[in-house]
Chains A and B, each alone.
Chain A
């Protein structure tokens, strides 16, 4: 299937007092209609900056953005502000971690959804947008949408606010939904409901979704494909099963192994990754994970390419100099 969204060699740097901060360093991926692509990483991995750059949200005088982001026929990196405004919300919508800060506290939920619609369809009447807001709130599982449309954001619980934000994101029937840590602020029981909602929308509407998260449990429940980011680069990419059952990069091993697992016997100790994630302003040369990697050797001073290293899985790629045999040995 041809790509809906195609990101090529995306580089995002910020000029700071301490020097150039290379937040995203050569990220490429395709998003096809109907898939959920998870981008996994820790703080400073560049996952949120990469996603925000797709929508032009990182543009600023001290930002250096290079590479290409194509949405169908449109190149978004070079698009002017007017063209970006036509894309935002209408073709690519975004939801954030904290729905309280994404709504204006002094306007009713329905009015804010209506405003999003009228920004793109100025001829829509208030009656029409209100009807549409009610329909949208109902479709994301908000009970009694006819009266909830007139509520203020603070009258909603966290889970209901996240549903309302998803309703607003869907208002213009976008092709792509970018969800940045959409359930991190929510309780697990509410999180399960929101993930089920995203999965249903993805199935029913064919909505292509980029899910940004640090939670591998959330990834396992929702994603089709996974990118693992570290120090501004993709260090491994593959299908959900490839990443969870045959991970190739030592950082991915570390992430999977450090989780306390409810579905397995309790370990005496958690397996930890030593050290801290690197600061994007001071990345080590070569593989950024090298200082924390128990398998690092001389060659790791040189940056490995993101390549398929297993003969039978051409789409499973990683950045690690270890041979597949050495990796199997290390994983025993």
Chain B
């Protein structure tokens, strides 16, 4: 524990705990994903390229949450897809548990898929509307031939219970659920194969304010119970500061700053991080007025 770590009193952390993280689970080095812009009549000629991910390096340690924050077009979603080999990186290295996975074929990736799962932003679009919840959550187990029959049903019910959904949800369709409940279903599906690493891409930004806190707290509990490691991607630096142990700020395809969540939010070094933090509207009218006056006179 570091000197400025949690202060213990009567065995309880009185300052908010941050996770230290164990060994390196994921190591990304000089990752690039470029999209060529082609023109030409008969033969396409590359005239320029969009550098969506432009030389990104970071690591994620076992048991921690890395927050990846950036605005639209910063490349954060493409970075996730390139790390998970859902799109082929242009160059660079991605090592999961020490093993190079960049450039692996789909077949070679398949056994690794169970180790790395994803939670999506839009719980309406990411669930098949024609399947029942039990099928949706059980699908990954079935695909990998994990279980069958009664055992499958038992596993699915246990997963639903973990995310706070009752057994009556098993035979219902996604449209019968609210946005927050659908996100719980998406989380149950992601957990089905007992992954080590979960990429959550804007998991709460489509939800109502009162529901966002429920999902954030659920992810937090699951991390404690299951020892999960998260990469939490979001544009809202307020949410990211709450969930993340460390934060990487992305801008124009590059990581411009990395550090502990408190360091990045309280003592940002990079000018872009500073402008991002300054633009967040504070739910505090007096401070908002003070800030307007300083900006007005400055």
Contacts and interface: CB of A to CB of B under 8 A. Distances in A.
Contacts of B211: 276
- Please classify the interface of chain B as helix (H, G, I), strand (E, B), loop, or mixed, using the class held by over half of its residues: helix
A191 B278 CA distance: 12
Contact of B284 (A220, A258, A271): A220
B283 A256 contact: yes
Interface in B223-255: 235-239, 241-242
A102 interface: no
Contacts of A3: none
A267 interface: yes
Interface stretch (A118-126, A129-137, A211-219): A211-219
A217 B282 contact: yes
B211 to A, nearest CB: 7
Contact of B279 (A188, A263, A267, A270): A188
A290 to B, nearest CB: 15
Contacts of A245: 285
B213 A191 contact: no
Interface residues of B, number: 45
A265 B281 contact: no
Contacts of B217: 269-270, 272
A262 B237 contact: yes
Interface stretch (B11-19, B99-107, B189-197): B11-19
A192 B179 CA distance: 28
Contact of A276 (B17, B181, B285, B292): B181
Interface residues of A, number: 42
Given A188-B235, A189-B275, A274-B214, A259 B16 contact: no
Contact of A265 (B15, B212, B282, B287): B15
Contacts of B284: 220, 244, 263
B281 A191 contact: yes
Nearest to A195: B281
A268 interface: yes
Interface of A: 42-43, 158, 187-189, 191-192, 195, 214-221, 240-241, 244-245, 254-256, 258-263, 265-274, 276-277
Interface of B: 13, 15-17, 71-72, 178-181, 208-214, 216-217, 220, 235-239, 241-242, 261-262, 265, 275-288, 292
30 contacts: A43-B179, A43-B208, A158-B72, A188-B71, A188-B237, A189-B275, A189-B276, A214-B209, A216-B283, A220-B284, A221-B281, A241-B285, A254-B210, A258-B209, A259-B209, A260-B241, A261-B282, A262-B238, A262-B265, A263-B282, A263-B284, A263-B287, A266-B261, A270-B217, A272-B210, A272-B213, A272-B214, A272-B217, A273-B210, A276-B211
